Amino acid sequence: MPTDKANKLKKRDFTTEFSFSPSRSSGAGGQNVNKVNTKVELRFNIFNSKLLPHQEKDVLLHKLATKINGIGELIIVSQESRSQLQNKLLAEAKFYQLIEKALQPIKRRKASKPTKGSKEKRLESKHARSQTKSLRRYRED
């Protein structure tokens, strides 16, 4: 179930703050890969964003640290499709998914008490283990 923050994020349009750079894809693909710039690299500068409040910037910088370069740019690469336009759309979709996931608050675990059945099961297993060990005891009559 999407939260209010997720809905607000989808309403914001970050496309004005994106910068795209196409390049040639790597790997197999033959002549298409060798001639056409289909790989798309999306760059989004978190520090310069006017759409993100400071709290969200701090969260993103902390949670997405491995995807952010030294100058505060979030870099997302897409080279799945043979079409540059399709890769651009895929990169944008990845961006929104990544940001939405990073901005979701972490659910705190509620401490719970063991159930009556689990207590009984634990005590039964202790008793069975105790019986096993007591039968191993050396007896001299």
For the chain, which residues make up each domain, given as ranges? 4-103
Reported as type and span, the H/E element at residue 103 is helix 84-103
Two structure tokens written together for 16: 């004005």
Whether the Cβ atoms of residue 46 and residue 14 lie closer than 8 Å to each other: no
CATH T-level fold of 4-103: Double Stranded RNA Binding Domain (3.30.160)
pLDDT, one tens digit per residue, over 52-109 is 889 988 888 888 888 888 888 888 888 888 788 898 899 989 999 998 988 888 889 8
- Report the alpha-carbon distance of residue 19 to residue 40 in Å, rounded: 10
Residue 1 scores a pLDDT above 50? no
